[in-house]
Amino acid sequence: MISLQLNAWFDFSYRDFDAVRESMHSAISLNKAEVLDVVLDDFSEGYFSLSFENRRKLLITLAQVYDLNRAQVRDLIKQYLGLELPGGNASESSTVDEEAMLSCFYRVERNLRQVLKPAYEVLFERLNNRPGGLKFLSIFRADVLSILAEENIASLRALDSYLKEKLNTWLSPAALELHQITWDDPASLLEKIVAYEAVHPISNLLDLKRRLGVGRRCFGYLHPAIRGEPLIFIEVALLRNVAQTIQEVLWDTPPIPESEATCALFYSISSTQPGLAGINLGKFLIKRVIKLVKREMPHISTFATISPIPGYMQWLLSKLASQSILAEVENMSPSSSSGSVSTFRENILEPEEEKLLLSCSEESFPGKSGMDVMLKLLTSTKFEWISSPELLSALKPPLMRLCARYLLEEKKRGKALDSVANFHLQNGAMIERINWMADRSEKGLRQSGGIMVNYIYRVERIDECAHSYFSTGHIHASNDIRRYTLGV
């Protein structure tokens, strides 16, 4: 009996998957406008009823079965290559023969453009034109990205790239509304701000009210197709000076009068839709917020951030671990084979830093080298080092120096390795200052040893900085930051 019940359950699930797949096929292939709405509703409702594994099967089916027809593409390319290019001088009137040849080119080119569109484009377009369709497509893409994070399926990656291009077009700045979020907004919208805040969690209603009150601003991008839900939002503090710690911004102290503020500090940017990853809505949001604040408060002259450095500790711990191993191998290896090891060896710590770390940790965190000690301290889950003035003093010079190196010199494909750095730099910011013990939360210590960074948006140089970073990877930074890497 149990076996029969299980078989019946699996049969039902299989039929359910087949039904959704059939509705997807109909949504792509049908041309009857009067039934399309029903079919699209059936497909979207059916999609949400599927298990994630069945969604995965459906998405791979869509990517592979409804891809472009490459046989047609090849035939048209052969036709195109077989056409004879029109001759003659372009300044002279075209002959009848030349016009006929050009007509052949135009026809084949038009057909090529058509067959280079995958069949699933029809599904995306039709869904986008339906109420709730854009929200559905963002969830749809989030599922695609989840699958791609686990396995690299070429056809699914091509589908993702195509859908991302479509979303980029549909979410152009012209289609987005900049909305200042206030305490008077509907509770449903405020609940989403609390739920989606990704950088500095909102602890309670008083915390939320403070972030939306005097001396603070919160702006979000809304889209008419996704009502009551910001796609991305940014929190701003109005201050006299650029804050050096996040505690200055988040602590429950009375804000200054807004008329005395000279700095608009961006302290949190949160995206609410995982399916919109890689679509840089923040770039447009920051520029529009700067423009709006300047217009409403001319006395604000500085636009800056206090930002996390989420990749710093991961990079540093990996570097310390690998260098510690290489140091051990070099000490154990015969001199004849140590040359290959020394090629990859690097002196991460300065002599004074090494000496200080070894001397102040010999009892509580003994190690063979300064790197070994540093690795033990930074991987300790209890973060004992932040309560020891001696250890803090010993760790500050190397951590600050290596952080500057990480932000300025460590790159991936020619751009900043750190994701937040890359975001602000490509939007036209420059690195102004790194701040010691700026975030003492567990998350801040785990991500960056408590260090945070100020990026500055100099209004008159935003486009210049963005262009040079985009074209050459050049990172604009203050002299104070560069002194760390120059050893001055």
Q: What global pTM score does this model have?
A: 0.84
Residue 176 has phi, psi (to 5 degrees) of: -105, 140
pLDDT band at 335 (very low <50, low <70, confident <90, very high): low
In this predicted structure, the answer to whether residue 126 has a pLDDT above a threshold of 60 is yes
Q: Where are the beta strands (DSSP E) in 244-384?
A: 263-271, 302-305
In this predicted structure, which of 144-158, 304-318, 353-367 has the lowest mean pLDDT?
Answer: 353-367
pLDDT at 284: 86
In this predicted structure, the answer to whether residue 11 has a pLDDT above a threshold of 50 is no
SS3 427: coil
Q: Are 266 and 235 in contact (CB under 8 A)?
A: yes
The percentage of the chain sitting over the pLDDT mark of 90, rounded to a whole number, equals 73
Q: Are 451 and 434 in contact (CB under 8 A)?
A: yes
Q: ∠ at Cα 412 (406, 414), nearest 5°? A: 100
* Residue 72 burial (C-beta neighbours within 10 Å; 0-12, 13-18, 19+): middle
In this predicted structure, the answer to whether residue 192 has a pLDDT above a threshold of 60 is yes
The region that residue 351 occupies, defined by phi over 0 for left and psi between -120 and 50 for alpha, beta otherwise, is alpha
Question: Sign of dihedral through CA atoms 65, 66, 70, 72?
Answer: positive
pLDDT tens-digit series, residues 290-299: 999 999 999 9
pLDDT tens-digit series, residues 338-349: 555 555 667 789
In this predicted structure, the answer to whether residue 228 has a pLDDT above a threshold of 70 is yes
* Domain parsing of the chain, residue ranges: 17-68+118-171, 174-307, 312-330+349-486
pLDDT tens-digit series, residues 304-330: 999 999 999 999 999 999 887 887 776
Locate 456 and state its tokens: 């500055």
d(CA 358, CA 285): 47
Question: How much is the mean pLDDT over the chain?
Answer: 89
Helices 52-65, 120-128: crossing angle, 10 deg rounding: 120
The candidate with the shortest Cα–Cα distance to 264, out of 73, 457, 3, is 457
- The domain defined by 174-307 folds into Aminopeptidase (3.40.630)
Residue 215 to residues 201, 236, 270, 288, Cα–Cα distance (Å): 19, 8, 20, 19
pLDDT tens-digit series, residues 367-403: 788 898 999 999 988 898 999 999 999 999 999 999 9
pLDDT band at 470 (very low <50, low <70, confident <90, very high): very high
Q: Are 65 and 48 in contact (CB under 8 A)?
A: no
Locate 397 and state its tokens: 């010079």
pLDDT at 12: 42
Please report, as a single letter, which amino acid is at residue 307: S
Q: Are 21 and 61 in contact (CB under 8 A)?
A: yes
Catalytic annotation, residues = 307, 424
Q: Is there a common fold for 17-68+118-171 and 174-307?
A: no
Residues in Cβ contact with 231 at an 8 Å cutoff, skipping those fewer than 6 apart: 171, 176, 220, 221, 222, 223, 271, 272, 273, 276, 281
pLDDT tens-digit series, residues 75-101: 999 999 998 887 655 445 557 777 888
Q: Are 377 and 385 in contact (CB under 8 A)?
A: yes
In this predicted structure, the answer to whether residue 105 has a pLDDT above a threshold of 70 is yes
d(CA 127, CA 307): 37
pLDDT at 88: 53
Q: Are 454 and 419 in contact (CB under 8 A)?
A: no
At the fourth CATH level, which superfamily is domain 17-68+118-171? Malonyl-CoA decarboxylase, oligemerization domain (1.20.140.90)
pLDDT at 352: 93
pLDDT band at 463 (very low <50, low <70, confident <90, very high): very high
pLDDT tens-digit series, residues 428-461: 999 999 999 999 999 999 999 999 999 999 999 9
pLDDT at 86: 74
In this predicted structure, which of 214-228, 328-342, 344-358, 404-418 has the lowest mean pLDDT?
Answer: 328-342
pLDDT band at 13 (very low <50, low <70, confident <90, very high): very low
Pick the CATH number of 312-330+349-486 from 3.10.129.10, 3.30.1240.10, 3.40.630.150, 3.10.100.10: 3.40.630.150
d(CA 20, CA 378): 50
The percentage of the chain sitting over the pLDDT mark of 70, rounded to a whole number, equals 91
Nearest-10 Cα torsion for 173, 175, 178, 181: -130
